Structure 1
């Protein structure tokens, strides 16, 4: 049975979360009212997973995650209110080592959480299965093949497709943060993430990267040096492609693999529409989403890459893609940008 530590400064929320988890078969071994208590409880109890509030007295969730990762790493699921401040703080906590996030419906003191019991229990179980140290603090290895990077080094009009879930934000950020602007990719990112977080995630990627990254809007068009992050709760399809510019459409059609946005939707539509070079990378995460997309990209003549097991917080998505036989290379997180870049380098 999964053992969980519940951390929240509200006694009411600790009770609600604990009851939901207990009813779902999770053993709540203790609760804590602030980050400092959480750090001490983690060292004392070694739980399988921690649910962590963001805003707390004495030590907040960000500081607590950093302390836990330094002293006694265990998987942490951030429980965040649907506010801009909490979204930013949660992404920072994930940068410090938290594995994933779950949005509290209805605010910090959520009376609506009981209506999302199954989703919360599933999220806790998924995070409990993660390696809390995999991919943490990823720094990309610079490409050493070829001569100096310049506008003539790469093929024309390449498109990069990235799909990720649990544990993915840090890896996505590390890839885009080191992606050379001269490669002139059109970038599409599908990260399984609550709707309230994708705009903030896109902003983080934009700041970290030489590329202009934004949250996708219906009908958005991008060219070289630009990228879109699929909006939470919307599939992102490539609807058109002409002269190096692609157009996306968003929809709320049926979930695929129980998720929306789905990696497969974006990758399959890109494989169908884009006539210039395609590169697809599937990263850490739970489930099977991305496998069919990788097959489609490979069949379209594109390059396909998967993150390796050692650096994946959860190896589900990469493993399912690898099992299709359509993945060209399996690499640690810190070598993915090099492989992406080399795949579109012109032959000498």
Structure 2
């Protein structure tokens, strides 16, 4: 049976070209809409299996339409976004509202732009048609200082207002690290007790928000994330996470020493590796390595962690995404004494990457997304 796709774009030429691209495969039944108002109506009438949705449209823009669609009849949506700072922010908002994925449109004429993204668009529409829908984010940015967010008595603490509850919150979020804890790397100065690696692709922004926002300000391990994204998106994404989380979140655009209390996002359209300098662990961006298909490469990040760190101190988490990026390296981490988590099928938007880790017998645990932060706390604070 053909996959029903609704193409939503205010450009008649773009609607025609995308519709033809999909229809010519023989796998899709395609209809189109020219704005958000039509998209909402046709979502009910045509009942598509998946939708492509432009952000900038007259009468009703893509974000407004997406919010209404997810309320009335949720459907997997692939956003079409420009490679600009404004386009990146709008795309991240769309992903928070429940969109499955996005395709970034390069600058240039419509024909040239579509030629450059044909393969990606087809791949992501096919994947979205099979994706598991997740509810839109309900977290609002907070204005209180990072040093206070999540602490007992702060407005964002889920247990504020009760002495008994505050004690429970302290017990949960205050780590006790034994002195004999294994070290990630040699060297007397700046030793780290452990390190968390996270690899993620399709469906990643919403998934990461659910995990990172639950880690307390005193989480003892640095967290390093490789999320498949273009360069224009990772900076705004890091800024968004930084508003939502108690830990400081930064994009790695230059050589940085790895520190506790920080979450590092690999810069898009590049790769990220670890390096040891005089006994201190650093993160270093580098140009995309052509031997790896996806970037920032989770596989390369995992391999470099094994070269620079003791595997026993590593925790590697493989989340939702297409393909197998990171499965081999994370399996090696598991085989060498590290601990690994694969996101379970029940919560993964796309069960590709974590499935590969499970099938290679490289997962210490298989967990739904809502249990992963708790497990990281248990391992790191044990």
Q: TM-score, normalized by length of structure 2?
A: 0.83
Are 1:40 and 2:53 matched, yes or no?
no
Q: Which residue of 1 aligns with 2:357?
A: 321
Deviations along 1:85-132, one digit per CA (max 9) or x if unpaired, are 111011001100000110011169564212331222112112222112
Contact kept, 8 Å, 1:9 with 1:33, in 2: the verdict is yes
Residue 325 of structure 1 deviates from its aligned partner by 1.2
Contact kept, 8 Å, 2:7 with 2:51, in 1: the verdict is yes
Are 1:297 and 2:321 matched, yes or no?
no
Residue 180 of structure 1 deviates from its aligned partner by 1.5
| SS, match of residue 295 in structure 2 | coil
Deviations along 1:280-299, one digit per CA (max 9) or x if unpaired, are 11111111112112112213
State the structure with more CA Rg: 2
Q: Which residue of 2 aligns with 1:269?
A: 304
Question: Within 2, Cα distance between the matches of 1:206 and 1:23?
Answer: 43
Question: Within 1, Cα distance between the matches of 2:302 and 2:216?
Answer: 22
Deviations along 1:193-246, one digit per CA (max 9) or x if unpaired, are 233211111111121112222222242222111222122221211122766643
Residue 19 of structure 1 deviates from its aligned partner by 2.1
| SS, match of residue 213 in structure 2 | helix
Question: Within 2, Cα distance between the matches of 1:317 and 1:26?
Answer: 25
Q: Which residue of 2 aligns with 1:165?
A: 201
Of 240, 256, 274 in structure 2, the residue corresponding to residue 204 of structure 1 is 240
Question: Within 2, Cα distance between the matches of 1:250 and 1:98?
Answer: 30
Question: Within 2, Cα distance between the matches of 1:73 and 1:117?
Answer: 25
Bigger mean CA offset, 93-102 vs 30-39: 30-39
Residue 3 of structure 1 deviates from its aligned partner by 2.1
Question: Within 1, Cα distance between the matches of 2:340 and 2:277?
Answer: 20
Distance change (3 Å), C-alpha of 1:207 and 1:344: same
Question: Within 2, Cα distance between the matches of 1:107 and 1:51?
Answer: 20
Distance change (3 Å), C-alpha of 1:33 and 1:245: same
Deviations along 1:236-288, one digit per CA (max 9) or x if unpaired, are 111227666433242221142x2122211111211221237211111111111
Q: Which residue of 2 aligns with 1:68?
A: 69
Distance change (3 Å), C-alpha of 1:241 and 1:325: farther
Alignment of 1:282-293 (within 5 A): 282-293=318-329
Q: Which residue of 1 aligns with 2:371?
A: 335
Q: Which residue of 2 aligns with 1:52?
A: 53
Question: Within 1, Cα distance between the matches of 2:108 and 2:96?
Answer: 23
Question: Within 1, Cα distance between the matches of 2:256 and 2:108?
Answer: 31
Contact kept, 8 Å, 2:175 with 2:381, in 1: the verdict is no
Q: TM-score, normalized by length of structure 1?
A: 0.90
Contact kept, 8 Å, 2:319 with 2:342, in 1: the verdict is yes
* Structure 2, unpaired ranges of 5+: 140-157, 160-167, 182-191
Count of residue pairs brought into register by the alignment? 342
Residue 178 of structure 1 deviates from its aligned partner by 1.2
Q: Give the alignment's Cα RMSD to 1 decimal.
A: 2.5
Deviations along 1:54-78, one digit per CA (max 9) or x if unpaired, are 1112221112222111111111000
Question: Within 2, Cα distance between the matches of 1:174 and 1:314?
Answer: 16
Question: Within 2, Cα distance between the matches of 1:40 and 1:189?
Answer: 39
Question: Within 1, Cα distance between the matches of 2:317 and 2:172?
Answer: 24
Q: Which residue of 2 aligns with 1:102?
A: 103
Deviations along 1:17-74, one digit per CA (max 9) or x if unpaired, are 2222223444242111111211111111121210000111222111222211111111
Contact kept, 8 Å, 2:275 with 2:281, in 1: the verdict is no
| SS, match of residue 67 in structure 2 | helix
Distance change (3 Å), C-alpha of 1:313 and 1:264: same
Distance change (3 Å), C-alpha of 1:193 and 1:238: same
Contact kept, 8 Å, 2:274 with 2:281, in 1: the verdict is no
Q: Which residue of 2 aligns with 1:191?
A: 227
Contact kept, 8 Å, 2:100 with 2:133, in 1: the verdict is yes
